[in-house]
Structure 1
Amino acid sequence: MPIFRSSLLPAAIAALINATVWGLAWLPLKWLQAHGVASMWVTLCVFSACTMAVLAVRPTALLRTLKMPQLLWLMLASGMTNVCFNVSLATGDVVRSILLFYLMPMWVVVLARWLLHEPITAAAITRIALALLGAVLVLGEGRLVLPLPSSVADWLAVVAGFSFGLNNVLLRRFADLPDDVRSLAMFSGAVVLSPIAIGALFLFGEAPQWAPQDMAWLVLLAFALAVLVGNLALQYGATRLRANVLSVLMLAEILVASLSSWWAGTAELPPSTLLGGLLIISASLLAITARGPAPQAAH
């Protein structure tokens, strides 16, 4: 499909809409967590709605997806991304969760070497060093310590970023598969993994709360619609923008999340976090400029 210059501005706005949706996702997640709906239930409801939307538009996608067992890995990677990321946002510090999630370029270097046999170059090592130094500053709060997460929310953010990196590498590996089956696999991953995680918590006596108050249903519906609109906007932008441009625009999620949580008084931005964030963003920007066009993840 030819790309006209006049379509670039709407495509850029669409990509920013997606970044804004996920940059503000902490608001409904934390609100619902405080009003009777644990984040894993939110994830299950939201991505079930998105999965049904894909099937409503492409009813044959399910049968074709079942015929491609390799998509199971993409489903698992995407499901882990969304389950871990949403729980981290709902229960942890928003800025820390977002920054640790965006360590993703560091994981991509290792995963691309393993799964795509891409060489580890000097530039790749530089990106890893920047991301690790950023993680040291964020996790150590300015102290040079071993960058190990200190809370469950931090660990979940790191796992989510690793899973998102795996998701991106698998998208590149499965680039020749139809868009609708890949989208269905990614959306349905959270639908499959959320009940498993909920069931495991039940077994350990830590059942996630499900006692929605009246207003919670409206917020849940609004969040589901926002995620659907955000992902549709991403699909529109991804078909009209170069991959490196789209990736830069997606980094707006960090800015939106950081400023909104700081303005709301739910997060602090000490100098060490700001500097660590700049290093992590720098690693992401270097990764963007280092690679050519690649399929984009639905997040």
Structure 2
Amino acid sequence: MPSTPSPAPATPLFSVLALMFNAFVWGVSWWPLRQLEQAGLHPLWATALIYLMALGCTLLAFPSALRQWLDQPALWGLALAAGLTNVCFNWAVTVGDVVRVVLLFYLMPLWAGLLAWWLLGERPRGADLLRMGLALGGVAVVLKAPGSGWPVPESLSDWLGLTGGFSFALTNVMLRRLHQTPAPARVLAMFGGGSLLSALTAGVGLSQGLVTPLPAPDLAWLAGAAALSMAYLGGNVALQYGASRLRSSTTALVMLSEVLFASASAVALGAAELPLRVWLGGALIVAAAAWSAWAPSQPPTHD
């Protein structure tokens, strides 16, 4: 997921490749999550374990990050936003149409504009409003089922995709506010939030009969969870490397390749359908995100 870049372009090829690796990890993560579910591990338990492993690795590498996290109350907000992002995304791509979920998740121009206005005091300009309208038009086309009335979310995965996209945008706004905080503390907060919130949600779901119990330890799913955890950790390291060496607009554009990776893998493996309305709505959503990334940076207008 996008972090806090500083505009210092260097070794652009390796930086772009690093970002594409991160996008690839997230774009195809739905498949190992579904394999873990088939092994009896619900995606919420899987997310909790995966991020707990990544959390342990981060603490081993940066033991002082825990104190930095605890000393900065604002990092708990980042942990909550990042945790909700992972809960929603990982659950949604496991139970729903992957392409549909990823498109709903990438409503960044809409949510980011509204959150920046609310939390950062940055009033949207005319072009920002147009991008929001374009993104809203895209999601309306994606959600509009044949013969239905108003285009509204029609499944759990739809709601999870929309909520995950909102919390993803909130995560990015929080990262902007916390750009002076040491990177290891931010990473630790994000991994900690992912693990803690997933475990809490799984516990509540278990009590309501919505989530299956944590299965007995088995080498197959333990090895799979460990491998996915290392992939997420490697993707985060790649993101930190690439995003710190490229302009934020370039980072956002490259990260859109996640939609391509997710769509291609889902269609190839039969986990998604691509009717015409999904193509059209997806084109509008991706165009809004690309326009937002390509837009020249200007001093923000504050209330």
TM-score range, shorter chain: over 0.9
Alpha-carbon distance between aligned partners in 2 of 1:165 and 1:279, rounded to the nearest angstrom? 18
**Of the candidates 163, 168, 172, which is equivalent to residue 159 of structure 1?**
163
Q: How does 1:118-157 map to 2 (within 5 A)?
A: 118-141=122-145, 145-157=149-161
What TM-score does the superposition give when structure 2 sets the normalisation length? 0.91
Task: Give 3-state SS (helix, strand or coil) of 2:274's partner.
Answer: coil
Which of 219, 229, 236 is matched with 2:224 structurally?
Answer: 219
The answer for the alignment partner of 1:12 in structure 2 is 16
- Map Cα deviations across residues 181-216 of structure 1 (whole Å, 9 max, x no partner): 111111111122112111211221333343365422
2:116 counterpart of 1:112: yes
**Is the aligned partner of 1:86 residue 2:90?**
yes
State the shift of 1:141 in Å. Answer: 3.8
Describe the shift of the 1:250–1:288 C-alpha distance in structure 2 as closer, same or farther (beyond 3 A). same
1:253 aligns with 2:258: yes
| Distance across 1 between alignment mates of 2:291 and 2:176 | 18
For residues 1-299 of structure 1, what are the structure 2 equivalents within 5 Å?
5=10, 7-141=11-145, 145-211=149-215, 214-290=219-295, 292=297
Please, which runs of 5 or more residues in structure 2 have no aligned partner? Answer: 1-5, 299-303
Write the distance in 2 (CA, Å) between the matches of 1:273 and 1:203.
36
Shift of the 4–162 alpha-carbon distance from structure 1 to 2, 3 Å rule, reads closer
- Judged with a 3 Å threshold, the aligned counterparts in structure 2 of structure 1 residues 124 and 11 are, in CA distance, closer, same or farther, namely same
Deviation at 1:256, TM superposition (A): 0.6
SS at match of 1:245: helix
Aligned residues: 292
State the 1:143 CA deviation.
7.0
Tell me how far 1:92 sits from its aligned partner: 0.7
| Cα distance in 2, alignment partners of residues 102 and 134 from structure 1 | 11
| Counterpart in the other structure of 1:297 | none
Structure 1 residues 29-71: Cα deviation after superposition (integer angstroms, max 9, x where no partner): 1111122010001101111111112111110110111111111
CA contact (8 A) 2:89 2:160 kept: yes
Q: Please give the alpha-carbon distance, in whole angstroms, between the structure 2 residues aligned to 1:202 and 1:36.
A: 14
Q: Give structure 1 stretches of 5+ with no counterpart.
A: 294-299
RMSD: 1.9
CA contact (8 A) 2:81 2:170 kept: yes
Cα distance, 1:282–1:2 mapped onto 2, change above 3 Å: closer
Q: Percent identity?
A: 41
The runs of at least 4 aligned residues of structure 1 exceeding 4 Å deviation read 1-5, 142-145
TM-score relative to the length of structure 1: 0.92
Contact 1:72–1:185 under 8 Å retained in 2: yes
Given that residues 138 and 277 in structure 1 are in contact (C-alpha distance below 8 angstroms), is that contact kept between their aligned partners in structure 2?
yes
Deviates more, 1:199-208 or 1:241-250: 199-208
Contact 2:7 2:247 in 1 (8 A): no
**Alignment CA distance shift 1:4-1:196 (3 Å):** closer
Contact 1:78 1:164 (8 Å CA) reproduced:
yes
